[in-house]
Amino acid sequence: MPVSKPTPAPALRPRSRARPELLGVLLVVGLLALVPWALGPFERGLLLRMLIWGLFALSFDVVFGYAGLLSLGHSVYFGLGAYGAAWTLLALHSSASPGAGLGTGMALGVVLPLLAGLGLGGLIAIGLAPLLVRTGRHGFIIATAVTALIAFTLAQSRRDLTGGDDGLTLPPLPLALGGWRVGCADPGPAYGLVLLLVAMTVALYGAIVRGPVGLALRLVRENERRAEALGFDVLRVKALAFALGGAGAALAGALYALTSCHVSTRVFHWLVSADALIWTLFGGAGTLVGPLLGTAVFLALREGLSGLWPPGYPILVGLALLLTVRAFPEGLLGLVLGLARGAARWAWPGRTGRTAREARNGMSDGDGTGEKRAAGRGGAQGVRRAAGRRQRRF
């Protein structure tokens, strides 16, 4: 009798998550773009600070959360970006002709300072990255902290350039939307510019960490020896992560200087890097959304508690951070995702009950599909294996 060939099991295609995530990102960006129109100047300014400091925390997370490098000198590149943009804006403002049109002012007074801040901080980060990553993990922490102290000391000593503790006062950005112009007390149209640049940077970081570079970063973070055995240049991967994080910090610093109308030497201090570390751990390290979420909740919590108890609100904020990190090691994002998964299991118990391993093995909830597929792959032996798996499940 001719023996029929077993029918191969259909390939299981993983569900693509790109579309739901893209819809979620577009929804959040749309809300952030529409909500400020219904808020006052103070609330718009608070949202603006959340975006800028959230971008800074995200750039720190690229180095810390994805590459596993704790950088206490991340504030250096934030400060270089801030002062690079400030110096350029002041130079353009002093040399601008009174008859320059608004379009010319926008092109010069917005684009050039941003490029100057990004270029200064990014280039310094690229230049220092190969040197700092060679110091090892513990040496890297010390080396970056020393870098921050040197930068802060130099900035304090050159008051003619930096303004010292008093800082530099900047003119408002030459941006206008109808009759709505940018002011130092009200960001106005500058909020839309910051939102656009932050969204573009998050998208760029997302494309990087979800591609081959992101896989290399996580492999180096988890096991450097295995990464070297697989042929990865560990130092080059670390230097790339450091340069990417430094460029993001420089952009955040440039936006901070241009929208706050003031910048001082405190932006170089290593405590600014410590703030980024706290926000990242609070929201969830090694993620794209966690640093942004942690920064926003932290700043909102600080503003709210400072009104309730002005002298001791730092104690309340510290207790809230300590309890959150202790109870939820994955941060606020882990808490939110856990609640979402619990709600999904409660709403669709049959649909979410199947695990990824069951889907790979072809097992169903009771119709014998797993045994049929196993028989097609391996005959009676496959049936026994599948039946054993089902028995162990129950």
Residues 216 and 362 in one domain: no
C-alpha–C-alpha distance, residues 359 and 351, integer Å: 12
Least confident of 96-100, 206-210, 315-319, 338-342: 96-100
- Residue 11 in any domain: the answer is no
Token pair for 373: 């597929």
Mean pLDDT of the 230-246 span: 94
Asked if 127 and 263 sit in the same domain, the reply is yes
Which one of 248, 274, 300 terminates a domain? 274
pLDDT over 60 (residue 127)? yes
Assess whether 236 and 376 both reside in one domain: no
Greater confidence, 50 or 360?
Answer: 50
The answer to whether residues 255 and 124 belong to one domain is yes
> What is the predicted pLDDT for the residue at 382?
46
Q: How many domains does the chain have?
A: 2
Residue 246 has pLDDT above 50, yes or no: yes
Q: What pLDDT, on the 0 to 100 scale, is given for residue 25?
A: 67
For residues 170-183, give the mean pLDDT. 67
Residue 142 lies in a domain: yes
Q: Is residue 55 located within the same domain as residue 189? A: yes
Q: What's the CA angle centered on 152, arms 147 and 153, to 5 degrees?
A: 100
- Residue 168 domain flag: yes
Tell me, what's the pLDDT at 176? 61
Average pLDDT score over residue span 235-241: 95
Check pLDDT > 90 for residue 99: no
| % of the chain beyond a pLDDT of 70 | 76
Domain check: are 248 and 376 in the same one?
no
pLDDT in tens, 62-82: 999 999 999 999 999 999 999
234 with 140, same domain? yes
Average pLDDT over residues 164-177: 80
- Please state the rounded mean pLDDT for residues 30-39: 80
Are 247 and 125 contacting, i.e. CB atoms less than 8 angstroms apart?
Answer: yes
Domain membership of residue 387 as a residue range: 354-393
Whether the pLDDT of residue 9 is over 80: the answer is no
Asked whether the predicted pLDDT for residue 332 surpasses 60, the reply is yes
**90 vs 373, more confident:** 90
Residues contacting residue 391 through CB under 8 Å, at least 6 positions apart:
none
Predicted pLDDT at 185: 62
Residue 365 has what pLDDT?
Answer: 44
CA distance 243 to 39: 37
One-letter-per-residue 3-state SS of the chain: CCCCCCCCCCCCCCCCCHHHHHHHHHHHHHHHHHHHHHCCHHHHHHHHHHHHHHHHHHHHHHHHHHCCCCCCCHHHHHHHHHHHHHHHHHHHHHHCCCCCCHHHHHHHHHHHHHHHHHHHHHHHHHHHHHHHHHHHHHHHHHHHHHHHHHHHHHHHHCHHHHCCCCCEECCCCCCEECCEECCCCCCCCHHHHHHHHHHHHHHHHHHHHCCHHHHHHHHHHHCHHHHHHCCCCHHHHHHHHHHHHHHHHHHHHHHHHHHHCEECHHHHCHHHHHHHHHHHHHHCCCCCHHHHHHHHHHHHHHHHHHHHCCCCHHHHHHHHHHHHHHHCCCHHHHHHHHHHHHHHHHHCHHHHCCCHHHHHHCCCCCCCHHHHHHHHHHHHHHHHHHHHHHHHHC
**Residue 93 · residue 171 · CB < 8 Å:** yes
- Top pLDDT among 239 and 372 is at 239
Check residue 80 and give its pLDDT: 97
The values of phi and psi at residue 164, to 5°, are 65, -145
- 97 contacts 237 by C-beta, under 8 angstroms: no
User: What tokens appear for 136 in the block?
Assistant: 């090892």
pTM over cut 0.85: no
Count CB-CB contacts under 10 A for residue 132: 19
Q: What is the mean pLDDT of the chain?
A: 80
Confidence of residue 96 (pLDDT cuts 50, 70, 90): low
pLDDT higher than 70, residue 351:
no
